[in-house]
Structure 1
Amino acid sequence: MAEVGKIFNRRTFCLITGASRGLGHHIGKGFAEKFVDHSMIVLVSRDEEGLAQTKQKIKQSNTKIDVLICPQDLSSDNEQDYDNLFQKIITSNVFLSTKFEQAMIVHNAGSMGDVSKRVIDFKDPKHIQRYFNINVGSMLVLNSKFLDLFAADKVKHRVCIQLSSLCAIQAFKSWSLYCSGKAARDMLWSTLAEECPDIRVLSYAPGPLDTEMQVVARTDSADPDVKNMFIKMHAEKQLVEPSSSVERLIKILEKDAFKNGQHVDFYDDL
Protein backbone atom coordinates (compact mmCIF):
# COMPACT_ATOMS: atom_id res chain seq x y z
CA MET A 1 0.00 0.00 0.00
CA ALA A 2 1.24 3.47 -0.87
CA GLU A 3 1.64 6.21 1.71
CA VAL A 4 -1.67 7.82 2.61
CA GLY A 5 -2.23 11.13 0.82
CA LYS A 6 0.91 10.82 -1.31
CA ILE A 7 -0.53 9.63 -4.61
CA PHE A 8 -0.97 13.12 -6.10
CA ASN A 9 2.27 14.46 -4.62
CA ARG A 10 4.56 12.70 -7.08
CA ARG A 11 5.64 13.79 -10.55
CA THR A 12 3.21 11.64 -12.49
CA PHE A 13 2.69 10.37 -16.01
CA CYS A 14 -1.05 9.83 -16.39
CA LEU A 15 -2.83 8.40 -19.45
CA ILE A 16 -6.62 8.83 -19.58
CA THR A 17 -8.82 7.19 -22.21
CA GLY A 18 -12.20 8.53 -23.27
CA ALA A 19 -10.91 11.96 -22.28
CA SER A 20 -12.75 14.10 -24.83
CA ARG A 21 -16.02 14.47 -22.92
CA GLY A 22 -18.10 13.36 -19.94
CA LEU A 23 -16.35 11.71 -17.04
CA GLY A 24 -12.99 11.46 -18.85
CA HIS A 25 -12.97 15.22 -19.40
CA HIS A 26 -13.60 15.81 -15.69
CA ILE A 27 -10.99 13.25 -14.63
CA GLY A 28 -8.38 15.11 -16.65
CA LYS A 29 -9.32 18.46 -15.13
CA GLY A 30 -9.70 17.13 -11.58
CA PHE A 31 -6.44 15.19 -11.57
CA ALA A 32 -4.55 18.12 -13.08
CA GLU A 33 -5.62 20.30 -10.16
CA LYS A 34 -4.02 17.77 -7.78
CA PHE A 35 -0.83 16.69 -9.58
CA VAL A 36 2.47 18.36 -8.79
CA ASP A 37 4.12 20.62 -11.36
CA HIS A 38 5.64 19.06 -14.48
CA SER A 39 3.47 15.99 -14.33
CA MET A 40 2.28 14.83 -17.76
CA ILE A 41 -1.27 13.95 -18.78
CA VAL A 42 -1.91 12.07 -22.02
CA LEU A 43 -5.48 12.36 -23.32
CA VAL A 44 -6.77 9.59 -25.61
CA SER A 45 -10.02 9.51 -27.60
CA ARG A 46 -11.27 9.38 -31.18
CA ASP A 47 -12.54 12.97 -30.89
CA GLU A 48 -9.57 15.28 -31.48
CA GLU A 49 -11.64 18.44 -31.06
CA GLY A 50 -12.97 17.19 -27.72
CA LEU A 51 -9.44 16.33 -26.59
CA ALA A 52 -8.32 19.86 -27.42
CA GLN A 53 -11.12 21.25 -25.25
CA THR A 54 -10.11 19.01 -22.35
CA LYS A 55 -6.50 20.10 -22.75
CA GLN A 56 -7.59 23.75 -22.65
CA LYS A 57 -9.50 23.18 -19.39
CA ILE A 58 -6.51 21.38 -17.85
CA LYS A 59 -4.12 24.18 -18.76
CA GLN A 60 -6.53 26.73 -17.30
CA SER A 61 -6.53 24.87 -13.97
CA ASN A 62 -2.77 24.16 -13.87
CA THR A 63 -0.41 25.84 -16.31
CA LYS A 64 2.53 23.72 -15.08
CA ILE A 65 0.98 20.42 -16.19
CA ASP A 66 2.15 19.12 -19.56
CA VAL A 67 -0.63 17.76 -21.76
CA LEU A 68 -0.37 15.61 -24.88
CA ILE A 69 -3.45 14.76 -26.95
CA CYS A 70 -3.47 11.47 -28.86
CA PRO A 71 -6.45 10.83 -31.15
CA GLN A 72 -6.90 7.06 -31.21
CA ASP A 73 -9.69 4.66 -32.16
CA LEU A 74 -9.71 2.08 -29.38
CA SER A 75 -11.96 -0.22 -31.40
CA SER A 76 -8.90 -1.19 -33.44
CA ASP A 77 -7.79 -4.82 -33.35
CA ASN A 78 -4.45 -3.95 -34.94
CA GLU A 79 -1.56 -4.11 -32.45
CA GLN A 80 0.46 -1.66 -34.53
CA ASP A 81 -2.10 1.07 -33.80
CA TYR A 82 -1.36 0.74 -30.08
CA ASP A 83 2.37 0.70 -30.74
CA ASN A 84 2.00 3.89 -32.77
CA LEU A 85 0.17 5.53 -29.86
CA PHE A 86 3.00 4.82 -27.45
CA GLN A 87 5.60 5.79 -30.02
CA LYS A 88 4.02 9.24 -30.19
CA ILE A 89 4.19 9.46 -26.41
CA ILE A 90 7.77 8.32 -25.91
CA THR A 91 9.12 10.56 -28.66
CA SER A 92 7.45 13.69 -27.28
CA ASN A 93 9.80 16.29 -25.85
CA VAL A 94 8.11 16.29 -22.47
CA PHE A 95 8.39 12.55 -22.03
CA LEU A 96 12.04 12.54 -23.09
CA SER A 97 12.93 15.34 -20.69
CA THR A 98 11.02 14.26 -17.57
CA LYS A 99 11.84 11.65 -14.95
CA PHE A 100 8.54 10.45 -13.53
CA GLU A 101 8.09 9.19 -9.99
CA GLN A 102 4.74 7.58 -10.75
CA ALA A 103 2.89 6.16 -13.75
CA MET A 104 -0.91 6.04 -13.80
CA ILE A 105 -3.44 4.85 -16.35
CA VAL A 106 -7.19 5.50 -16.20
CA HIS A 107 -9.31 3.30 -18.46
CA ASN A 108 -12.44 5.40 -18.87
CA ALA A 109 -13.28 4.76 -22.55
CA GLY A 110 -16.20 2.46 -23.16
CA SER A 111 -19.62 2.07 -24.69
CA MET A 112 -23.01 0.78 -23.56
CA GLY A 113 -23.64 -1.61 -26.38
CA ASP A 114 -27.12 -2.18 -27.75
CA VAL A 115 -29.52 -1.87 -24.80
CA SER A 116 -32.54 -2.31 -27.08
CA LYS A 117 -31.89 -6.08 -27.17
CA ARG A 118 -32.25 -8.84 -24.61
CA VAL A 119 -29.77 -11.70 -24.27
CA ILE A 120 -31.80 -13.93 -26.61
CA ASP A 121 -31.84 -11.26 -29.34
CA PHE A 122 -28.13 -11.15 -30.15
CA LYS A 123 -27.51 -13.04 -33.39
CA ASP A 124 -24.60 -11.25 -35.07
CA PRO A 125 -21.23 -12.49 -33.72
CA LYS A 126 -19.38 -9.54 -35.28
CA HIS A 127 -21.48 -7.09 -33.28
CA ILE A 128 -20.69 -8.95 -30.06
CA GLN A 129 -16.99 -9.26 -30.88
CA ARG A 130 -16.73 -5.56 -31.65
CA TYR A 131 -18.31 -4.66 -28.31
CA PHE A 132 -15.89 -6.77 -26.30
CA ASN A 133 -12.93 -5.62 -28.37
CA ILE A 134 -13.70 -1.97 -27.59
CA ASN A 135 -14.60 -2.43 -23.95
CA VAL A 136 -12.38 -5.29 -22.81
CA GLY A 137 -9.75 -6.22 -25.40
CA SER A 138 -8.46 -2.72 -26.09
CA MET A 139 -8.21 -1.99 -22.37
CA LEU A 140 -6.16 -5.13 -21.79
CA VAL A 141 -3.77 -4.44 -24.68
CA LEU A 142 -3.36 -0.77 -23.78
CA ASN A 143 -2.67 -1.67 -20.15
CA SER A 144 -0.08 -4.30 -21.07
CA LYS A 145 1.82 -1.89 -23.28
CA PHE A 146 1.60 0.80 -20.60
CA LEU A 147 3.17 -1.57 -18.05
CA ASP A 148 5.85 -2.56 -20.56
CA LEU A 149 6.77 1.11 -20.87
CA PHE A 150 6.71 1.65 -17.11
CA ALA A 151 8.34 -1.53 -15.83
CA ALA A 152 8.99 -1.87 -12.11
CA ASP A 153 12.67 -1.03 -12.55
CA LYS A 154 11.82 2.25 -14.32
CA VAL A 155 9.25 3.84 -12.02
CA LYS A 156 8.62 3.15 -8.36
CA HIS A 157 4.87 3.77 -8.16
CA ARG A 158 2.36 2.40 -10.67
CA VAL A 159 -1.43 2.81 -10.57
CA CYS A 160 -4.01 1.15 -12.84
CA ILE A 161 -7.62 2.37 -12.62
CA GLN A 162 -10.56 1.18 -14.66
CA LEU A 163 -14.03 2.69 -14.65
CA SER A 164 -16.47 0.03 -13.59
CA SER A 165 -20.19 0.11 -12.76
CA LEU A 166 -22.83 -1.32 -10.47
CA CYS A 167 -23.64 -3.35 -13.60
CA ALA A 168 -20.44 -5.34 -13.03
CA ILE A 169 -22.01 -6.97 -9.98
CA GLN A 170 -25.75 -6.59 -10.61
CA ALA A 171 -27.66 -7.64 -13.73
CA PHE A 172 -29.78 -5.03 -15.51
CA LYS A 173 -32.33 -6.43 -17.94
CA SER A 174 -31.55 -5.52 -21.59
CA TRP A 175 -28.05 -4.36 -20.61
CA SER A 176 -26.38 -7.75 -21.11
CA LEU A 177 -23.38 -6.54 -23.10
CA TYR A 178 -22.69 -3.65 -20.76
CA CYS A 179 -23.06 -5.77 -17.61
CA SER A 180 -20.90 -8.62 -18.90
CA GLY A 181 -18.26 -6.24 -20.25
CA LYS A 182 -17.97 -4.43 -16.92
CA ALA A 183 -17.85 -7.75 -15.03
CA ALA A 184 -15.03 -8.93 -17.30
CA ARG A 185 -13.08 -5.73 -16.66
CA ASP A 186 -13.51 -6.15 -12.90
CA MET A 187 -12.21 -9.70 -13.03
CA LEU A 188 -9.24 -8.69 -15.16
CA TRP A 189 -8.36 -6.08 -12.54
CA SER A 190 -8.77 -8.56 -9.69
CA THR A 191 -6.41 -10.89 -11.51
CA LEU A 192 -3.92 -8.10 -12.23
CA ALA A 193 -3.88 -7.27 -8.51
CA GLU A 194 -3.11 -10.89 -7.66
CA GLU A 195 -0.39 -11.18 -10.29
CA CYS A 196 1.22 -7.79 -9.61
CA PRO A 197 0.80 -6.85 -5.94
CA ASP A 198 3.32 -4.02 -6.35
CA ILE A 199 0.83 -2.15 -8.60
CA ARG A 200 -2.09 -0.26 -7.07
CA VAL A 201 -5.17 -1.55 -8.88
CA LEU A 202 -8.67 -0.09 -8.58
CA SER A 203 -12.05 -0.68 -10.22
CA TYR A 204 -14.12 2.44 -9.58
CA ALA A 205 -17.89 2.54 -10.17
CA PRO A 206 -18.65 6.27 -10.59
CA GLY A 207 -22.38 6.12 -9.83
CA PRO A 208 -25.29 6.91 -12.18
CA LEU A 209 -23.70 9.82 -14.01
CA ASP A 210 -25.62 12.64 -15.63
CA THR A 211 -24.00 12.17 -19.05
CA GLU A 212 -25.03 11.35 -22.62
CA MET A 213 -25.02 7.66 -21.68
CA GLN A 214 -27.95 8.34 -19.35
CA VAL A 215 -29.93 9.78 -22.25
CA VAL A 216 -29.47 6.46 -24.06
CA ALA A 217 -30.50 4.57 -20.92
CA ARG A 218 -33.74 6.55 -20.67
CA THR A 219 -34.65 6.26 -24.34
CA ASP A 220 -33.29 2.99 -25.72
CA SER A 221 -33.46 0.44 -22.88
CA ALA A 222 -35.69 -2.45 -24.00
CA ASP A 223 -36.78 -3.29 -20.48
CA PRO A 224 -39.49 -0.86 -19.26
CA ASP A 225 -38.52 -1.24 -15.59
CA VAL A 226 -34.92 -0.23 -16.30
CA LYS A 227 -36.00 2.60 -18.56
CA ASN A 228 -38.49 3.97 -16.04
CA MET A 229 -35.96 3.70 -13.21
CA PHE A 230 -33.58 6.03 -15.02
CA ILE A 231 -36.38 8.35 -16.13
CA LYS A 232 -37.39 8.69 -12.47
CA MET A 233 -33.79 9.22 -11.32
CA HIS A 234 -33.38 12.00 -13.88
CA ALA A 235 -36.69 13.64 -12.99
CA GLU A 236 -35.90 13.54 -9.26
CA LYS A 237 -32.34 14.80 -9.80
CA GLN A 238 -30.75 11.65 -8.34
CA LEU A 239 -28.05 11.42 -11.00
CA VAL A 240 -24.44 12.13 -10.07
CA GLU A 241 -22.57 15.07 -11.59
CA PRO A 242 -19.29 13.89 -13.20
CA SER A 243 -17.28 16.47 -11.26
CA SER A 244 -18.68 15.12 -7.96
CA SER A 245 -17.75 11.57 -8.93
CA VAL A 246 -14.20 12.65 -9.76
CA GLU A 247 -13.94 14.36 -6.37
CA ARG A 248 -14.94 11.07 -4.75
CA LEU A 249 -12.40 9.14 -6.83
CA ILE A 250 -9.66 11.54 -5.80
CA LYS A 251 -10.54 11.07 -2.12
CA ILE A 252 -10.48 7.27 -2.51
CA LEU A 253 -7.05 7.44 -4.11
CA GLU A 254 -5.72 9.87 -1.52
CA LYS A 255 -6.96 7.79 1.41
CA ASP A 256 -5.57 4.66 -0.27
CA ALA A 257 -7.44 2.28 2.02
CA PHE A 258 -8.97 0.03 -0.65
CA LYS A 259 -7.94 -3.59 -1.01
CA ASN A 260 -5.81 -4.02 -4.11
CA GLY A 261 -8.01 -4.88 -7.07
CA GLN A 262 -11.18 -3.93 -5.18
CA HIS A 263 -14.41 -2.76 -6.81
CA VAL A 264 -15.26 0.52 -5.07
CA ASP A 265 -18.55 2.32 -5.72
CA PHE A 266 -19.18 6.06 -5.52
CA TYR A 267 -21.56 5.40 -2.62
CA ASP A 268 -19.25 3.08 -0.66
CA ASP A 269 -18.08 4.21 2.75
CA LEU A 270 -14.35 3.71 2.39
Structure 2
Amino acid sequence: MTDSVLSPSPVRAIVTGHSRGLGAALAELLLERQIDVLGVGRSGHAALASRECAAAPRFVEASLDLANPTAVEQWLASGALENFAQGAQCVVLFNNAGTVDPIAPLGAQDANTIARAVTLNVAAPLMLANAIAAVQAQERRIVHISSGAARNAYAGWSVYCATKAALDHHARAVALDAPVGVRIGSVAPGVVDTGMQATIRATRVDHFPLRGRFEELKQTGKLATPGDSARQLIDYALSDAFGASPTSDVRELAQA
Protein backbone atom coordinates (compact mmCIF):
# COMPACT_ATOMS: atom_id res chain seq x y z
CA MET A 1 0.00 0.00 0.00
CA THR A 2 1.26 3.49 -0.75
CA ASP A 3 -0.84 5.56 1.66
CA SER A 4 0.99 7.57 4.29
CA VAL A 5 0.98 6.02 7.76
CA LEU A 6 0.52 7.74 11.10
CA SER A 7 3.64 8.05 13.22
CA PRO A 8 3.44 5.25 15.78
CA SER A 9 4.46 7.36 18.77
CA PRO A 10 1.07 9.03 19.42
CA VAL A 11 -0.95 5.87 18.73
CA ARG A 12 -2.41 3.48 21.28
CA ALA A 13 -4.31 0.32 20.42
CA ILE A 14 -6.90 -1.90 22.07
CA VAL A 15 -6.97 -5.51 20.88
CA THR A 16 -9.71 -7.90 21.99
CA GLY A 17 -8.97 -11.62 22.01
CA HIS A 18 -5.26 -10.87 22.22
CA SER A 19 -4.04 -14.10 23.81
CA ARG A 20 -3.88 -16.27 20.68
CA GLY A 21 -4.26 -16.44 16.92
CA LEU A 22 -4.80 -13.23 15.00
CA GLY A 23 -5.28 -11.19 18.17
CA ALA A 24 -1.92 -12.27 19.57
CA ALA A 25 -0.23 -11.44 16.26
CA LEU A 26 -1.86 -8.00 16.25
CA ALA A 27 -0.69 -7.27 19.80
CA GLU A 28 2.86 -8.47 19.10
CA LEU A 29 3.27 -6.48 15.88
CA LEU A 30 1.78 -3.32 17.36
CA LEU A 31 4.26 -3.50 20.23
CA GLU A 32 7.10 -4.02 17.75
CA ARG A 33 6.03 -0.70 16.19
CA GLN A 34 6.29 0.98 19.62
CA ILE A 35 2.51 1.29 19.91
CA ASP A 36 1.09 0.82 23.41
CA VAL A 37 -1.38 -2.07 23.57
CA LEU A 38 -4.28 -2.82 25.89
CA GLY A 39 -5.25 -6.48 25.50
CA VAL A 40 -8.81 -7.37 26.49
CA GLY A 41 -10.09 -10.92 26.91
CA ARG A 42 -10.71 -13.84 29.23
CA SER A 43 -7.14 -15.12 28.90
CA GLY A 44 -3.88 -13.25 29.26
CA HIS A 45 -0.81 -13.29 27.00
CA ALA A 46 1.85 -14.48 29.44
CA ALA A 47 4.78 -14.11 27.04
CA LEU A 48 4.01 -10.50 26.24
CA ALA A 49 3.29 -9.60 29.84
CA SER A 50 6.59 -11.08 31.03
CA ARG A 51 8.82 -9.51 28.40
CA GLU A 52 7.62 -5.91 28.84
CA CYS A 53 9.84 -3.73 30.99
CA ALA A 54 8.14 -2.96 34.32
CA ALA A 55 9.62 0.55 34.35
CA ALA A 56 8.05 1.52 31.02
CA PRO A 57 5.18 -0.80 30.19
CA ARG A 58 3.81 -0.64 26.68
CA PHE A 59 1.50 -3.61 27.22
CA VAL A 60 -1.34 -3.93 29.71
CA GLU A 61 -4.16 -6.45 29.97
CA ALA A 62 -7.74 -6.48 31.17
CA SER A 63 -9.27 -9.80 32.16
CA LEU A 64 -12.82 -9.64 30.81
CA ASP A 65 -15.41 -12.10 29.55
CA LEU A 66 -16.59 -10.29 26.43
CA ALA A 67 -19.51 -12.72 26.12
CA ASN A 68 -20.94 -11.30 29.36
CA PRO A 69 -22.63 -7.96 28.61
CA THR A 70 -22.89 -7.01 32.28
CA ALA A 71 -19.15 -7.54 32.75
CA VAL A 72 -18.40 -5.44 29.67
CA GLU A 73 -20.69 -2.66 30.89
CA GLN A 74 -19.06 -2.65 34.33
CA TRP A 75 -15.54 -2.58 32.85
CA LEU A 76 -16.43 0.33 30.59
CA ALA A 77 -17.89 2.19 33.58
CA SER A 78 -14.63 1.70 35.51
CA GLY A 79 -12.79 4.25 33.36
CA ALA A 80 -10.01 1.81 32.42
CA LEU A 81 -10.44 2.49 28.72
CA GLU A 82 -10.31 6.28 29.13
CA ASN A 83 -7.24 5.97 31.36
CA PHE A 84 -5.41 3.92 28.75
CA ALA A 85 -6.35 6.32 25.93
CA GLN A 86 -5.45 9.47 27.86
CA GLY A 87 -2.87 11.57 26.05
CA ALA A 88 -2.98 9.63 22.78
CA GLN A 89 -3.36 11.43 19.47
CA CYS A 90 -4.96 8.35 17.86
CA VAL A 91 -6.69 5.42 19.53
CA VAL A 92 -7.29 2.29 17.44
CA LEU A 93 -9.71 -0.45 18.46
CA PHE A 94 -9.29 -3.90 16.92
CA ASN A 95 -12.53 -5.78 17.59
CA ASN A 96 -10.93 -9.17 17.02
CA ALA A 97 -12.45 -11.49 19.64
CA GLY A 98 -15.09 -13.81 18.25
CA THR A 99 -16.41 -17.34 18.02
CA VAL A 100 -17.57 -19.52 15.14
CA ASP A 101 -19.78 -21.62 17.43
CA PRO A 102 -22.44 -22.88 17.24
CA ILE A 103 -21.74 -24.74 14.02
CA ALA A 104 -24.96 -26.62 13.31
CA PRO A 105 -28.16 -26.32 11.29
CA LEU A 106 -31.13 -24.47 12.74
CA GLY A 107 -32.88 -26.64 15.30
CA ALA A 108 -29.63 -28.28 16.44
CA GLN A 109 -28.01 -25.21 18.02
CA ASP A 110 -27.61 -24.74 21.77
CA ALA A 111 -29.54 -21.68 22.99
CA ASN A 112 -26.87 -20.52 25.46
CA THR A 113 -24.15 -20.87 22.82
CA ILE A 114 -26.20 -18.69 20.46
CA ALA A 115 -26.60 -16.03 23.15
CA ARG A 116 -22.89 -15.98 24.02
CA ALA A 117 -21.92 -15.85 20.34
CA VAL A 118 -24.18 -12.89 19.64
CA THR A 119 -22.81 -11.05 22.67
CA LEU A 120 -19.16 -11.81 21.90
CA ASN A 121 -19.40 -11.25 18.15
CA VAL A 122 -21.78 -8.28 18.10
CA ALA A 123 -22.78 -6.68 21.41
CA ALA A 124 -19.26 -6.39 22.84
CA PRO A 125 -17.74 -4.87 19.66
CA LEU A 126 -20.58 -2.34 19.44
CA MET A 127 -20.25 -1.42 23.11
CA LEU A 128 -16.50 -0.95 22.76
CA ALA A 129 -16.90 1.03 19.54
CA ASN A 130 -19.34 3.37 21.26
CA ALA A 131 -16.91 3.86 24.14
CA ILE A 132 -13.96 4.54 21.83
CA ALA A 133 -15.92 7.17 19.91
CA ALA A 134 -16.39 9.06 23.18
CA VAL A 135 -12.76 9.14 24.35
CA GLN A 136 -10.74 12.33 24.15
CA ALA A 137 -8.37 11.85 21.23
CA GLN A 138 -7.86 13.65 17.95
CA GLU A 139 -8.48 10.43 16.01
CA ARG A 140 -10.37 7.29 16.91
CA ARG A 141 -10.31 4.34 14.54
CA ILE A 142 -12.57 1.31 14.90
CA VAL A 143 -11.54 -1.89 13.14
CA HIS A 144 -14.15 -4.64 13.16
CA ILE A 145 -12.59 -7.98 12.20
CA SER A 146 -15.14 -9.27 9.74
CA SER A 147 -15.21 -12.40 7.59
CA GLY A 148 -16.14 -13.65 4.16
CA ALA A 149 -19.06 -15.21 6.04
CA ALA A 150 -20.46 -11.70 6.50
CA ARG A 151 -20.93 -11.44 2.76
CA ASN A 152 -21.59 -15.06 1.78
CA ALA A 153 -23.97 -17.55 3.39
CA TYR A 154 -22.65 -20.94 4.52
CA ALA A 155 -24.69 -23.94 5.69
CA GLY A 156 -24.13 -24.59 9.39
CA TRP A 157 -22.85 -21.06 10.03
CA SER A 158 -26.13 -19.17 10.35
CA VAL A 159 -25.14 -17.57 13.67
CA TYR A 160 -21.59 -16.76 12.58
CA CYS A 161 -22.74 -15.35 9.24
CA ALA A 162 -25.41 -13.23 10.91
CA THR A 163 -23.09 -11.82 13.56
CA LYS A 164 -20.32 -10.93 11.13
CA ALA A 165 -22.84 -9.36 8.75
CA ALA A 166 -24.01 -7.27 11.71
CA LEU A 167 -20.51 -5.81 12.10
CA ASP A 168 -20.40 -4.94 8.40
CA HIS A 169 -23.74 -3.16 8.55
CA HIS A 170 -22.80 -1.41 11.78
CA ALA A 171 -19.77 0.05 10.00
CA ARG A 172 -21.91 1.15 7.06
CA ALA A 173 -24.39 2.90 9.33
CA VAL A 174 -21.76 4.53 11.58
CA ALA A 175 -19.95 5.86 8.51
CA LEU A 176 -23.06 7.93 7.74
CA ASP A 177 -23.03 9.85 11.03
CA ALA A 178 -19.65 9.27 12.65
CA PRO A 179 -18.47 12.04 15.00
CA VAL A 180 -15.61 14.22 13.81
CA GLY A 181 -12.34 12.32 14.11
CA VAL A 182 -13.92 8.85 14.05
CA ARG A 183 -13.19 6.38 11.26
CA ILE A 184 -14.60 2.88 11.03
CA GLY A 185 -14.04 -0.15 8.83
CA SER A 186 -15.18 -3.77 8.94
CA VAL A 187 -12.29 -5.71 7.44
CA ALA A 188 -12.20 -9.38 6.42
CA PRO A 189 -8.70 -10.76 7.15
CA GLY A 190 -8.83 -13.71 4.76
CA VAL A 191 -8.76 -17.36 5.83
CA VAL A 192 -6.26 -17.38 8.68
CA ASP A 193 -4.62 -20.43 10.26
CA THR A 194 -5.93 -20.08 13.82
CA GLY A 195 -7.67 -22.18 16.45
CA MET A 196 -10.98 -21.29 14.83
CA GLN A 197 -9.88 -23.20 11.73
CA ALA A 198 -9.10 -26.24 13.87
CA THR A 199 -12.61 -26.03 15.31
CA ILE A 200 -14.06 -25.92 11.81
CA ARG A 201 -12.07 -28.97 10.68
CA ALA A 202 -13.23 -30.90 13.75
CA THR A 203 -16.91 -30.25 13.06
CA ARG A 204 -19.21 -33.02 11.87
CA VAL A 205 -19.82 -32.87 8.12
CA ASP A 206 -23.59 -33.03 8.62
CA HIS A 207 -23.29 -29.83 10.69
CA PHE A 208 -20.89 -28.10 8.28
CA PRO A 209 -21.05 -29.52 4.74
CA LEU A 210 -18.11 -27.39 3.52
CA ARG A 211 -15.64 -28.90 6.00
CA GLY A 212 -13.68 -30.58 3.19
CA ARG A 213 -12.93 -27.22 1.60
CA PHE A 214 -11.26 -25.97 4.79
CA GLU A 215 -9.37 -29.25 5.23
CA GLU A 216 -7.98 -28.79 1.72
CA LEU A 217 -6.89 -25.21 2.47
CA LYS A 218 -4.91 -26.49 5.45
CA GLN A 219 -3.40 -29.44 3.59
CA THR A 220 -2.33 -27.33 0.61
CA GLY A 221 -0.86 -24.51 2.68
CA LYS A 222 -3.37 -21.93 1.48
CA LEU A 223 -4.25 -20.56 4.91
CA ALA A 224 -2.78 -17.15 5.71
CA THR A 225 -0.54 -16.93 8.76
CA PRO A 226 -1.75 -14.79 11.68
CA GLY A 227 1.37 -12.65 11.33
CA ASP A 228 0.83 -11.86 7.65
CA SER A 229 -2.85 -11.03 8.17
CA ALA A 230 -2.08 -8.91 11.24
CA ARG A 231 0.55 -6.94 9.34
CA GLN A 232 -1.91 -6.16 6.55
CA LEU A 233 -4.61 -5.16 9.03
CA ILE A 234 -2.30 -2.83 10.95
CA ASP A 235 -0.91 -1.21 7.80
CA TYR A 236 -4.44 -0.53 6.60
CA ALA A 237 -5.78 0.62 9.98
CA LEU A 238 -3.00 3.23 10.28
CA SER A 239 -3.19 4.40 6.68
CA ASP A 240 -4.93 7.43 5.21
CA ALA A 241 -7.15 5.05 3.25
CA PHE A 242 -8.74 3.52 6.34
CA GLY A 243 -12.45 4.27 6.58
CA ALA A 244 -12.82 5.39 2.96
CA SER A 245 -14.96 2.28 2.52
CA PRO A 246 -16.91 0.87 5.50
CA THR A 247 -16.21 -2.73 4.42
CA SER A 248 -13.10 -4.26 2.86
CA ASP A 249 -10.99 -7.40 2.53
CA VAL A 250 -7.23 -7.53 3.12
CA ARG A 251 -6.80 -9.73 0.05
CA GLU A 252 -8.26 -6.98 -2.12
CA LEU A 253 -6.25 -4.28 -0.33
CA ALA A 254 -3.03 -6.19 -1.05
CA GLN A 255 -3.84 -6.04 -4.77
CA ALA A 256 -4.62 -2.31 -4.74
Question: What TM-score range do you get, normalising by the shorter chain?
Answer: 0.7 to 0.9
Structure 2 residue aligned with 1:226: 210
Per the alignment, residue 108 of structure 2 pairs with 121
- Give me the TM-score of the superposition, normalised by structure 1: 0.82
Q: How does 1:222-261 map to 2 (within 5 A)?
A: 222-223=205-206, 225-261=209-245
CA 210–71 in structure 1, closer or farther in 2 if over 3 Å, else same: same
Contact 1:15 1:105 in 2 (8 A): yes
SS at match of 1:217: helix
Distance 1:83 1:7, change over 3 A: farther
Q: Look up the SS of the partner of 1:13 in the other structure.
A: strand
- Summarize the alignment of residues 39-58 of structure 1 with structure 2, pairs less than 5 Å apart: 39-48=35-44, 51-56=45-50
Conservation of the 8 A alpha-carbon contact between 2:143 and 2:237: no
- Alpha-carbon deviation of 1:166? 0.5
**How many Å apart are 1:88 and its aligned residue?**
6.0
Residues 157 and 81 (structure 1), Cα distance of their counterparts in 2 relative to 1, 3 Å cut:
closer
Counterpart in the other structure of 1:99? 87
Letter in 2 for 1:203: S
Match of 2:168 in 1: 186
Contact 1:8 1:34 in 2 (8 A): no
Q: Distance in 2 between matches of 1:251 and 1:258?
A: 9
Q: Is the 8 A contact 1:174 1:222 kept in 2?
A: no
Give the aligned partner of residue 168 of structure 1. 150
Q: Which runs of 5+ in 2 are unaligned?
A: none
- Identical amino acids, percent of aligned pairs: 24
Please report how far the alpha carbon of residue 213 of structure 1 lies from its aligned counterpart in structure 2 after TM superposition: 0.8
Which ranges in structure 1 are unaligned for 5 or more consecutive residues?
A: none
CA deviation string 1:215-245 (max 9, x = no partner): 1111105456411001111110111100010
- 8 A contact 1:43–1:68 mirrored in 2: yes
Cα displacement (A) at 1:246: 1.1
Amino acid at match of 1:129: A
Task: Please report how far the alpha carbon of residue 77 of structure 1 lies from its aligned counterpart in structure 2 after TM superposition.
Answer: 2.3
Is the CA contact (8 Å cut-off) linking 2:186 and 2:247 kept in structure 1? yes
Q: Which moved more, 1:209-218 or 1:127-136?
A: 127-136
Kept in 2, the 8 Å contact 1:197–1:260? The answer is no
TM-score by length of 2: 0.86
Q: Contact between 2:48 and 2:59, CA under 8 Å: does it hold in 1?
A: no
Cα 1:206–1:129 change in 2 (3 A) is: same
Which one of the candidate residues 66, 77, 85 is aligned to 1:74?
66
CA distance in 1, matches of 2:204, 2:145: 21
What count of residue pairs does the alignment treat as equivalent? Answer: 250
Output the amino acid matched with 2:120. Answer: I
Q: Which residue of 2 aligns with 1:111?
A: 99
**What are the Cα deviations for residues 124-168 of structure 1, in whole angstroms up to 9, with x where unaligned?**
5444222211211111112222323x1xxx311111001100110
Residue aligned with 2:144, SS: strand
Kept in 2: contact 1:15–1:104 (CA 8 A): yes
Q: Aligned equivalents of 1:213 and 1:128: distance in 2? A: 16
Shift in Å, 1:56? 4.1
Which amino acid is the alignment partner of residue 118 of structure 2?
Answer: F
Instruction: For 1:253 and 1:134, locate their aligned partners in 2 and report how far apart those are by CA, in whole Å.
Output: 22
| 1:30-45 → structure 2 map (5 Å cutoff) | 30-35=29-34, 39-45=35-41
* Displacement after TM superposition at 1:40 (Å): 2.7
Q: Cα RMSD over matched residues?
A: 2.6
| Letter paired with 1:111 | T
1:17-36 pair list within 5 angstroms: 17-35=16-34
Deviation at 1:176, TM superposition (A): 1.1
Task: Give the Cα separation in 2 of the matches to 1:179 and 1:192.
Answer: 20
- Structure 2 residue 131 is the aligned partner of structure 1 residue 177: no
| Kept after mapping to 2: 8 A contact 1:16/1:28 | yes
Local SS of the residue matching 1:201: strand
